[in-house]
Amino acid sequence: MAPERHPDAPAPGELLGAHYEHCFGCGGGQPHGLHLAARAADGVAITAEFTVKPEHQGAPGLAHGGVLTTALDETLGSLNWLLRVIAVTGRLETDFVRPVPVDTVLYLEAQVTAVAGRKIYSTATGRIGGPEGPVAVRADGLFIEVKVDHFIDNGRPAEIQAAMSDPDQLRRARAFEVNP
């Protein structure tokens, strides 16, 4: 089935923000995290970017492939804000096209390609040198819609309780149905 943007989804151009302060991908509370900034785009699509820091390298002077995969996963996961569902990564296939040097800004674009029941199919591309630059990484993902109980039942109780006590997290959970 063709994906449909939820009528209450963030408007195109709107910054999505972190779904959780301590998320390695998007949270500001992780000193060495990606601090990925995602914005809603037209349709069921987003744009995002992050700067590869020295803390993100694998080979000398180059981004670690796992960090690039994390950036793609975070970008694809952010699409769920536009559907207004809670979903987790079920499968992620990544293609590494060219090396990404430290201090490079990676420009990411992602879109939902299909929705089938609880399954959300999506694709993302990461470019260096700007939104029209050469492709460095690509990914196709399958996300599975879950209920908030998935996190409550499986997360560490102290972190779950802290998130549930945070008024910003509660506001997000109620407004966007995104996991606390």
Domain total in the chain:
1
141 token code pair: 């993902």
On whether residue 26 sits in a domain, the answer given is no
Over the stretch 116-154, which tens digit does the pLDDT of each residue have? 999 999 999 999 989 999 999 999 999 999 876 555 555
On whether residue 14 sits in a domain, the answer given is no
Distance, CA of 88 to chain centre: 10
On whether residue 23 sits in a domain, the answer given is no
CATH number, domain containing residue 89: 3.10.129.10
Over the stretch 2-29, which tens digit does the pLDDT of each residue have? 788 989 899 999 988 776 676 766 667 7
Beta-ladder partners of 22: none
On whether residue 65 sits in a domain, the answer given is yes
On whether residue 102 sits in a domain, the answer given is yes
Burial 80-117 (b: 16+ CB within 10 A, else e): bbbbbbbbeeeebebeeeeebeeebebbbbbbbeebee
Range of the domain at 41: 37-176
Instruction: Using a cut of 0.85, tell me whether the model's pTM lies above it.
Output: no
On whether residue 11 sits in a domain, the answer given is no
